[in-house]
Homo-oligomer: A and B are copies of this chain.
Amino acid sequence: MASFFRVFSLRNLLVLSLALNVSLIWRVLYEKEDSEAINRPSLDNKREAFRTDSMASEAQATQRTHLYIPSSSSSSSSSSTVDSNGRDRVINLDQKVHHQQFSTIVDEVGGVKLKIAAGVGFFMLILYWDPLLLAAVAGSTTELKAEYVSAKVFLNVVAIRQCTREPEFAKEIIRLHKIVGNAVTEDRYIVVGTGSTQLYQAVLYALSPPDAAEPLSVVSAAPYYSSYPSITDCLKSGLYKWAGDAQSFNKEGPYIELVTSPNNPDGHVRQSVVNKSGGILVHDLAYYWPQYSPIAAAADHDIMLFTVSKSTGHAGMRIGWALVKDEEVAKKMVKYVELNTIGVSKDSQLRAAKVLQVATDGCKYPTSEGSLFDFAANVMEERWKLLRAAVRQSGLFTLPEFSPGLCRFLNSSFAPRPAFAWLKCEAPIEDCEAFLRSNKILTRGGKHFGVGPQYVRISMLDRDENYDVFVQRLSTIHLRQSMQVDETVE
């Protein structure tokens, strides 16, 4: 100890101690703000870190993160005001109408931890949504009222009736659309659903006349989303019925045409093809985000479907939203959601609001690597480049070609880089799904999408490690060794 003091004087130690104090005080007071400081490593660093770190250590790292996100709504909106003696108050004991009070309570005890569940087929975005980083960004609170006020929202009817009363979520939907510029939100009603799949069914329910002599025809141009037929027909509804490829639809009378744009599976920007009287268009715009497609203009259709799954990657939340022009349609959609699942998970809505907020804030104050959409667009561009190189090298396949277009959000011109690759096996390969399966690559064959077996749909959103093995393997497939289908892989 004596020798210790020979080296360090009391004054030295005091300075050291004071410095430590300052740093600790800083940490205690500004821990939150510190964690908000944007300190996001570059894309390459993150990818590398993600690949090499063990899952266990990552899980451990997240244990250190805990943040509080302040409850958002004012408690003054409570619907159960108490007068001094309760004499004149209406007592509502019909449970259904309690939704209104329920959600107020939840707002009051509100707050929600942002622990993100990246979702189905969106492994690549785990890098962006790394919980530690997200927690840091999410700590910031921003007042957003001005933007909210400019849009007319149907919250007082739709949201309350839907057991949601999540004005925050609606606000964040509007903010995100406004900053990305991909959809008009003015004079629209927002209907929240348990993913856009439920909203698709809600639209069918809302648009079908209840007393029609026969079910309403539902069509979409092939190749169409493979789940449309099974979802539409699973209950053999007397209200609506899947009627197949819109291009060959020639029945008279009312119908619904689904326009998926960019299209799942082939990525093309689409418009309606039927053009007959009595048709109602439903636009599934799940993939109309800058990571997949240049945002040429704000979509302005009667019924537009979106989902958190495809925009931010959080498929596990099961949250989607519809922008709907007609009030009666919106009300009937809400009624379906009420009948089907008695509203939408409150937990998921609270988190979704926060996720969208973080995504929008990231657009306003981008980091060195840009916003979520910059990040995702870069990943998609790189993946498509790799895929096209592999396809060229193998010589057995072709891919759709896309023309570049100006993206007003990313402020650059580029060709679409869809979430799926619509791969065609060239002759003599007849069954592309079976051919790839024999090479231990599982895809979904063309017949599911209303077209022939020479096509397959390939997810472009898998983890880096899987994607890399896939393109590597695709580039080296030889025709001869693979023609014999390996039955052991299902």
| Cβ B316 vs Cβ A347 within 8 A | yes
Residues of the B chain whose Cβ atoms lie less than 8 Å from the Cβ of A339: 197, 227, 230-231, 234
Known contacts being A131-B109, A341-B194, A347-B351, is A236 close to B234, with CB within 8 Å? Answer: no
Residues of the B chain whose Cβ atoms lie less than 8 Å from the Cβ of A27: 24, 28
Select one of B197, B344, B472 contacting A342, CB under 8 A: B197
Select one of B231, B350, B462, B468 contacting A98, CB under 8 A: B462
CB of A106 within 8 Å of the partner chain: yes
Residues of the B chain whose Cβ atoms lie less than 8 Å from the Cβ of A444: 94-96
Q: Which of A27, A63, A78, A458 has the most CB of B within 10 A?
A: A63
| Cβ A121 vs Cβ B106 within 8 A | no
Measured CB to CB, the closest approach of chain B to A332, in angstroms, equals 11
Measured CB to CB, the closest approach of chain B to A292, in angstroms, equals 14
Q: In whole angstroms, how far apart are the Cα atoms of A192 and B340 in the complex?
A: 15
Report, as a range, how many residues of chain A touch the other chain.
35 or more
Known contacts being A111-B62, A195-B341, is A93 close to B442, with CB within 8 Å? Answer: yes
Residues of the B chain whose Cβ atoms lie less than 8 Å from the Cβ of A98: 120-121, 459, 462
CB of A224 within 8 Å of the partner chain: no
| Cβ A116 vs Cβ B121 within 8 A | no
Could you list some 16 contacts between A and B, CB below 8 A? A92-B466, A93-B441, A93-B462, A94-B443, A95-B120, A101-B123, A102-B120, A113-B113, A194-B194, A194-B345, A198-B340, A234-B339, A235-B238, A237-B237, A316-B345, A317-B346
- Other A-B contacts than A98-B120, A112-B113, A345-B348, 17 sampled, CB-CB below 8 A, are A21-B24, A24-B27, A86-B472, A90-B440, A92-B442, A93-B441, A93-B442, A93-B443, A95-B120, A95-B459, A96-B444, A98-B462, A106-B118, A117-B346, A205-B234, A230-B339, A316-B345
Question: Which A residues form the contact surface with B (CB < 8 A)?
Answer: 10-11, 13-14, 17-18, 20-21, 24-25, 27-28, 32, 55-56, 58-59, 62-68, 70-71, 75, 78, 80, 82, 86, 88-99, 101-103, 105-106, 108-113, 115-121, 123, 126, 131, 163, 194-195, 197-198, 201, 205, 227, 230-231, 234-239, 315-319, 336, 339-348, 350-351, 420, 440-444, 457-459, 461-463, 465-466, 468-470, 472-473, 489
